[in-house]
Every structure is written in structure tokens, then in C-alpha cells.
Amino acid sequence: MALSGMRGLSVFISDIRNCHNKEQERLRVDKELGNIRTRFKNEKGLSPYEKKKYVWKMLYIYMLGYDVDFGHMETVSLISAPKYPEKQVGYIVTSCLLNENNDFLRMVINTVRNDIIGRNETYQCLALTMVGNIGGKEFSESLAPDVQKLLISSSCRPVVRKKAALCLLRLYRKNPDVVNIDGWSDRMAQLLDERDLGVLTSVMSLFVSLVSNNAEAYWNCLPKCVRILERMARNQDIPQEYTYYGIPSPWLQVKTMRALQYFPTIEDPGARRALFEVLQRILMGTDVVKNVNKNNASHAVLFEALALVMHLDAEKEMMSQCVALLGKFIAVREPNIRYLGLENMSRMLLVTDVQDIIKRHQAQIITSLKDPDISIRRRALDLLYGMCDVTNAKEIVEELLQYLNTAEFAMREELSLKAAILAEKFAPDLSWYVDVILQLIDKAGDFVSDDIWYRVVQFVTNNEDLQPYAAAKAREYLDKPALHETMVKVSAYLLGEYGHLLARRPGCSPKELFAIINDKLPTVSTSTVAILLSTYAKILMHTQPPDVGLQQQILTIFKKYESYIDVEIQQRAVEYFELSRKGAALADVLAEMPKFPERESALLKKAEDAEVDTAEQSAIKLRSQQQTSSAIVVADQPPVNGSVPASNHLTLVKMPSQNITEESNVTYEEPPVEIPKENGAPVEVESKVENIPETNIESKVEPPAAHPASQADLLADLLGPLAIEGPPAAVEQNPVQGLETNQSPVGDLALATLEDQSNSVQPIVNVEEKFHILCSKDSGVLYEDPHIQIGLKAEWRAHHGRLVLFLGNKNTAPLLSVQALILPPSHLKTELSSVPDTVPPRAQVQIPLEVVNLRASRDVAVLDFSYTFGTSLVNVKLRLPVVLNKFLQPITLSPEEFFPQWKALNVQNLKVQEVVKGVKPLPLPEIASLFMSLHLAVAPGLDNNLNNLVACTTFFSETTRAMLCLVRIETDPQDRTQLRLTVASGDQYLTFELKEYIKEHLIDIPRVQAASPPVPVQPQLPPAAVPATYNDPGAMLAGLL
């Protein structure tokens, strides 16, 4: 690009470079664009020099990232200029500014064609370069025959023929019909005899594209490819300019070997022998040297040769040589070479009779699991998974379990799944399998799907000899202070069924088993509570002779849950309570589970599906996969049963409590409203509310509608199978009658409703319940309807959070027009990766989301998600569980550390105290468990009063960094419905937000059972009155504050 003499262009570039900020640059660009637009309006007064100068300026502005939506006609007209400088500018700028669908290109097709068929080689090169860059159907239909003539012409110079080959390649990719296969096989064979390596390299690129679509038509070209490789291997007739660090044209060698991989096999014995000699020479002559550039070139040739060896299914001796070479590569220090060695060794596992040879390098592969580079660790994991069999399964699985302790969040899901598959597939005995799965659940419970522990239960049920051992192992794990909920599920089930087999062992009496299981009850979700109730019934049935005290304890729990809001739990509690009073009949009804029928494992089925692939298919797929988004598409999943449709929910963005309750049809608002208790007696809810700026609030309460119960969600595992089913039964609708509220600082983010959308598709899960669960857990299902399941996994480090949204298409048709937008509150900084426009059938897409916490707040971000399925447009707004406790880290302080901090924070606004009424009447241990779920570490012994609790935590944000927070709860043994809450920290805003956040989890709002008569508008709210139309204390406080 010769810019000499263009003073105006030079001055403009200088002005842009001297701009101090983006705003100055934008103003200067706008001024220049206005000047160019004015001059183009008077085109007749423009000289060719001025037009060329202004077009160069347009290109420079476009390269800076600004839109240039005018001047295209002037740019295109320069292509028709008779002189080279103007024509060059026209071709270059047209290639950059215009795409294949631009209408202006039709105006220059004839001009471009005249330049291609003309005798001026410079013009031919300009035209071919532009056509190759733009492509397009119209160019391919109009110009492809002329480009082909240039390619096969013997009178054209090599520089023109090189460009013609690459131009034809681009046109062929856009429109394969431009190349007539019948006539081109002979022409391609002639072109492969070309002596000029530049033309030959370009022709080989075209040949690779042709054979990838139809290799059968080009069998006559196969010997030519072998001869090219022989020429390269012997370094015959190779010009110096095509020798790269002593390697003859490595690009041509790689392309030639890649083209050979598209042919099924080589039947000609002479060609096959010659090819293996070349490959042997490449394998023997490649080594690791200090020069990085030479390493890159030689290893590119080597690894393509390895792929060709695998494709041709060479003799075992050559395969052994390949594995030995790769074994040497995975031990070098250079990470790129280690990565390539591991990847190619994984691909060699697809070749028969090679696995035993690869096992010799097992120790070095296991060492790669500890590599600092995560990509190398992933390849090592894939290789260990592929090379595992009965002989080495125990060693490999133990290494994977050990590595699970230190593996990062991004790898644990894949690691857990592969360890479970290997343990089941190659278990030497079932007791070892039970040990492995229980260790897996203990170390990575968030990443273990329900399918895994279901399989353990099936094995234990079907093998009587295994039952005492499995029950004893489950009892051992329950002694651990911190236990994942999945471990609670499997342990409770096993001890309920087979705990009686351990009755004579110390610590395993029915009363002791009940006590240790019951300790977990306050901390588990509703799906686990259902399992625990069944376990209690089994323990009661197996207790012989009956223990009156134990029976009374269990019956008390059944009675407590008879009025629970979840219908599944309520039904179990009622039925077990009635059955337990029938005496001997209980043993008949709750008899031991029968043996399961033999069935294929879902995990093994998944593993077998992943292995149905050939070496050549893998090679083709690896080269052809091109992602248009940074999201990750996960492979096809088998179907399972979905969950029962649940009711719709009005979702509030203000941080809710952890209560899992059903909502009533509500149009907001109202001071004191009488709410029936469970026994029908009215009670008035009280709470201390301060600083209410708006008092013009009205209320209207509708009778609650009946909703079907939401069963335990079997799809919570994000790597587990998706529910591939047709639409379920009609979901019961519960439309919101209206919503009126005062304006709050949160603005439009304060409400995220599902019902305000005119969606024909409704969720089949309780969205409110799923949100509550994710507020205390880091993985699970966020939303699900008949077409899609949205799962979430999260990892939190200080004030940073990394979330991954899993979009799972449950249908056999794609989901189109997929869009996701994060509406963050002011205290969060979010960055969502690009979202693919389409989710393929029966596939998952992963979308990473980065979150940074700027300061303390209870406001919650909203996911605005939409997609199209068939003629249905679905749009939902979902709260994301990025809540205050996610940025808390429990910390334990000694008395010597605690009391100086407590006294130092005895400053107004840094220490806040409030008497909270209407508290859930929880015993002190349950309050302590609640605090632990909120990431508040309870410090025993700091308060001499046994009715008080003291807790410590550290809050992380970008502004405060790590800030110590201290909390004290003073309870009244005579009245558990009120307490005094004191919160202290170094930031007054943090103190207030944390106090309100804890209060929301402590306060108890009874359910609304019936409509109350409307109450006239009060001129001012009484300070002790709280609108009780919401069943969620967080929702109520959000509306008031």
C-alpha cells in the first residue's frame, strides 16, 4: 500500500494517533466521515487522486472499528479504472468493506471477469484475490469456469495459477457444483504432476477439499500423492525457498498425508510399500531439538504421519515404534509437545492390539495429571480413561480418586463421571465398587449424578452378601462432620433397608442409627427428606422388640410433616404414621425391597455410545468441527423420565429466605392481614419495619389455587441424561391477577416474573423452589419446561464467581433464536460468554458467566432467556442465585481474637442491633445449622449464656476486599418466636445488608390459606405491621423496602 504523496491521508492518521481518548478519536472520525460524504456528493469534481485518497481513509476508519455505510459505489467504481493505482485501491477496499451479499458486487462482475481473462497478470492477481476473499454464489456461478481455465493453463505464470487454485477452493466451498467431478479427476491428476512447489501446495489444498466430499472419484490421484511424499522425503528437486529449517515444504507434506487419510485403503502393493518407507523415514528422523520453529514444523509432519499410520492399520512393529516415540514426547519439558503426544496416544487407542503397548507408559501418563497446564491434564484424563481395562482399573481409579481432591472445578464433573464408569465397567468385585462410589460421592458430591447412586443401590439390593458391607460403610460415612447431601441419601437408604443386619455391632442399634440420621434432617432438601422419612419407617419396622422411646420420636417427626407444604413428603408422613399404628402389619407393608430386574447401566450405555467411532471418523470430525460460539456443545444424551409439572410462580428479585413454600395468587399489598394457622385459628404476624418511604399501599388477596406436587427432580445432574420426551400433560395455570408496587431503587430488576409473559409453554418444575435450593447449593436445575432444561454450576473464590449455564435441548428438533441476557444489579459486574443461536437436538450447550461482587447488597441478577421451538416463542426471566452468602467465607476466632474486634466495632452504624419478632421457633442447634448453610461459622464457648449464639464470617467484595463480620443471636427460652440480633462489621452498608439478610432467614411468615376482606388504605403504616400476602419473608421485605 503506497501512501507516499497522500498528505491528507498521512495527516488524518497522525491526528488519530494523537487522540488522547476514545471520545476525541470518535469526534475526529465523525468529522472526517462528514467531509468524505460531502465530497462524494459532488463526485464529478473529484479527481482520481482525491477519490483514491478518500477511499483509503474509509478503509482506515473501517479498520479502526467504525461502521462505514456509504461510499461503496465510489469504491466499486475504482475497479473499472484503467490505471493500476486506482484499480488496486478498488480491489483492496472492496474486499474489506463488502461481503458476498452486497448488491454493489453485481455491478463489477463483468469488469472482474475481463481482468481475469485478460493478459495483464497483475490485474489477474488482483481480481483472483478479491474473488477468493469475498466468494459468494454469484461469483462462483459467473467466474468459476474462467478461474478453472487459468488453473490448467500452461501459459500462465505460477503466481497466477497459485491464486487461481486458492480462488477455486473458496468458490468450491461456497458452491460445490462449480467443479464437475467427472471431468476433474483427470485434470487433478495432471495438476499433481506440477513441478513448481508453490502451485503444487495450492493445488493440494484444493485436492484435500475435493476428496473430503468424494474420495471415490479421485482414486487415480492416489499414486501421485505417494510420489509427492517420496519426492519430499528424498529432498529431490526442492528449491531453497521451500525448505523450512531443513525440512522440505512441511506444509505440502502435511496436506498430502491428510488427503491420503480420506481414502479407505491403499490396495496397490507398490504404492503401499513406498508410502510405508516414507512414513518410516519420517518416524525415524524426527527428534526434539532446541529450535522451536524447527520443532513445530517437524512435529506437524510427524503427527500427521502418525494419523496416516493409524488410518492405514500398519503392522504391529510400526505401531510399537509410534507408541515408543509418543512415550518419549510425553516425557519432555515442552508443554506443546507433551500435549500433542498425549492427544495422539489417545487416538492410537482406537487401533487394535496397541493398548498393551501404551500401558507401558502408564506411570508417565499419571504424572501428567499433575501438570500445571489444564489442557494437558484433560488429555491425560482422556488417555487414562481410554486405556483402562480389568488389569489396571484398580490402579487408575485410585489415582483418579486421589486426583479428585485437588482437581479444579472445571474438571471435577468429567473426572467424576469417568471414574464412576470405570469402576462399574471393570470392578474386580462389588465391595470395591461400593467403596469407590462412596468415596466419589464423599469427595465430589456436587458432580455425582443420581444415576450413580441408583446403580449402587441396585447392586446392593441384588447381592445379599454385599448388603451388610454396604450398610457398614454407609454407617462409617455418617460419622463425618461435613457430609454431602447425596451421601445422606444413599446412606439413609442403605441403613433403612439393611441397618438391621448391623444391630449387634457397636454404634449400630436402631436408636443410634436413627439419632445419627436425624441429625442431618434440618440441613437437607425436600427430596432427601422424603428418603429420610422412609428410612425412619424402616427402622421402626425392624426394631424388635419395639422401643417405645424410639417409636415416640419417629411418630413425632411423622406428625410434624403431616402438614408440610410439599405434597410428596406430606403423603409419606401421613401414610407412615397410620401404618406405624397397625403393629405387625407394618412389617408386611414395608418388607425388604425385592431384587431389581437386570437392566443395562445408563453410564455404561453412555460410554459405549462414545466409543462407536472409527479412527478416520475421529480425524475428519476433529478437522471439520468449527464452533461459531465460545459455548461448548455436549454430546447426545439418552432419555429418562422427566419430573411432574409444577405450579407457576411469581418470582421476586429481592433475596428470599430459604423456606420452600407455595405461593398464592396475590396482588400486592396491605397492612395487617389475618392469616389462618394450620389449625384454622387466625394469627397476626408482627415484625419491626423501619424507614418506609412510601405509604400509599393497597392490598388484595386471592384464594390460593391447588397445585400439583413437584416430585424429586431426577434431572439435577448436569452431565446426566436429558428428559427426551414429548410435551407432558397440560400444566396447571396460575396467572397473576395484577401487580402494583411502589418504585424501589432496584427498578425493573426488582421483579422477574414468569407469568407476565404470554408463553404457550410453561415450566414443569417449581422455579421458586429450584432458586431457593441453588441459594444454598452450587449446582442443580434452575428451570425446565417440555423443551429445555437450564442447569447451573458455580464456583466461588473471594469476590469472584464463575457460573456455567447448561442449556439442554430435550427434543429431537433444534431450538432456534436462542438468546440470553444478564440484567445485573448495580453491585454486580457480570460477563456472559456468547450464546449460540441454535441448540442442536438432544444436546447440551455450556455458557460460562463470570461475576464480580463490588459491594454488599441483597439484590439479585436476572437472566432474561428466550428461544423458539416450532411456532412457539418462549421468554422467561429467572433469578440467578448470586446472593450475599455466596461471598461469605466462614472463619473461626478464638476468644483472644474475637473480643478485641467486637469492642473495636462498637461504633454507631458499624454495629447494629434489632429485636426480631415472628421468628421461626427453632431450637438452638437448628439455628446453628442454618448459620452454617449461610456460611456463618458458629463459635461455641464465646458466649457464656447457653441460649445465645456467636458466629463469624468474612465478606469479600471488590471495594472492601476481605472484611470481618461478627454476629450474635440472643434467644428467649420462654418465647422462641423472638430474639435479639446484633451484627457488626467495618462497613455500615455491609452491616445493614447482612443484618437484613439474616433476619429474612429467621423470620417466619405463615401460609395464606384464604382471602381476607379488603382493608381501607391507611394514611400511614403502623410500625409493627407487615403485609402478609407473601409467603416469602424476603419477598415481603423487598416490597416494603
- Among 764, 663, 788, 789, smallest CA distance to 780 is for 789
- Among 856, 877, 855, smallest CA distance to 866 is for 877
* CA-based torsion, 56, 57, 63, 66: positive or negative: negative
Spatial distance between the Cα atoms of 68 and 59, rounded to a whole number of angstroms: 8
Integer angstrom CA distances of residue 432 from 389, 437, 456, 466, 784: 15, 9, 11, 10, 37
Spatial distance between the Cα atoms of 160 and 138, rounded to a whole number of angstroms: 22
Other CB atoms within 10 Å distance of the CB of residue 6: 17
Q: Which residue's entry shows cell 497478470?
A: 121
199-204 — which CB contacts under 8 Å span 24+ positions?
A: 199/158, 199/161, 199/162, 199/165, 200/228, 200/252, 201/162, 201/249, 201/251, 201/252, 201/255, 202/161, 202/162, 202/163, 202/165, 202/166, 202/169, 203/151, 203/165, 204/228, 204/252, 204/255, 204/256, 204/259
Spatial distance between the Cα atoms of 300 and 241, rounded to a whole number of angstroms: 19
Integer angstrom CA distances of residue 490 from 447, 454, 483, 773, 929: 15, 8, 12, 19, 21
Report how far Cα 404 is from the mean position of its chain's Cα atoms: 20
- 218 assigned to a ligand binding site: no
Alpha helices for 388-525 (secondary structure H): 393-404, 409-425, 430-443, 450-462, 467-478, 485-498, 510-518
Classify residue 383 by its DSSP letter: H
- Residue 609's contacts (CB-CB under 8 Å, 6 or more residues apart) are 635, 636, 638
Spatial distance between the Cα atoms of 424 and 435, rounded to a whole number of angstroms: 11
Phi-psi region of 840 (alpha: psi -120 to 50; beta: other; left: phi over 0): beta
Residue 545 burial by CB count (10 A; 0-12/13-18/19+): exposed, middle or buried? exposed
- 54 assigned to a ligand binding site: yes
- Most distant CA pair in the chain, distance: 111
- 49 assigned to a ligand binding site: yes
- 53 assigned to a ligand binding site: yes
Spatial distance between the Cα atoms of 446 and 483, rounded to a whole number of angstroms: 11
Task: Answer for the pair 234, 281: CB distance below 8 angstroms, yes or no.
Answer: no
Spatial distance between the Cα atoms of 1031 and 1014, rounded to a whole number of angstroms: 18
Alpha helices for 655-735 (secondary structure H): none
Strand 844-853 and strand 828-832: the pairing is antiparallel
Spatial distance between the Cα atoms of 563 and 574, rounded to a whole number of angstroms: 9
Backbone torsions φ then ψ of 2, nearest 5 degrees: -85, 115
Query: Could you tell me which residues are beta bridge partners of residue 869?
Result: 872
**For residues 721-731, b (16+ Cβ closer than 10 Å) or e, as one string?**
bbbbeeeeeeb
- Among 278, 287, 179, 187, smallest CA distance to 233 is for 278
Integer angstrom CA distances of residue 7 from 3, 4, 14, 86: 8, 8, 10, 17
Q: Which residue's entry shows cell 441419601?
A: 489
- 57 assigned to a ligand binding site: yes
Task: Answer for the pair 602, 610: CB distance below 8 angstroms, yes or no.
Answer: no
Annotated binding residues, written as ranges, equal: 7-8, 49, 53-57
